[in-house]
Structure 1
Amino acid sequence: MRFCQQGDWLCIELADNGRGVNEKQTAETERLGIQGVRERVELLGGRFTLSPASRQGTLLRVEIPLTKETPL
């Protein structure tokens, strides 16, 4: 897990070394946990990506704007 700030954005990355996912799986995910995270991030005006990690596994990345309008 990694936290960082890039300008006015909070970035959170979570990676594992499991089987990974392919692009079709990330686009068609109907799992409530993943979908719930995506919806919450988008409600905050953020971006959510789920993709294969560089070597193996999965990388989940969340970016949330750090503005006065961001509800906490």
Structure 2
Amino acid sequence: MLSQPQPGQRETTAWELPGGKMAAGETPTTALVRKLPEALGITVSPDSLIPLTFATERCQQQQLLVPCY
């Protein structure tokens, strides 16, 4: 799923993956359940999210791991 930032969030027209950083003690699934209402205004059940694959990306001095559901 790709999204564009909602009006007033950021000055960009780029498409992005919804989500964000995990809080301490969160799993990737619980982080996504928390972030989707903020990013897209939708609510999902953790049981409806099935991990599909992941992607990795080197970003500055960090290695990002992006789970894809």
Q: Give the TM-score, by structure 2 length.
A: 0.27
Q: Which is bigger in relative contact order (C-alpha 8 A, separation at least 6)?
A: 1
Higher normalized strand content (fraction of residues)? 1
Q: Give the TM-score, by structure 1 length.
A: 0.26
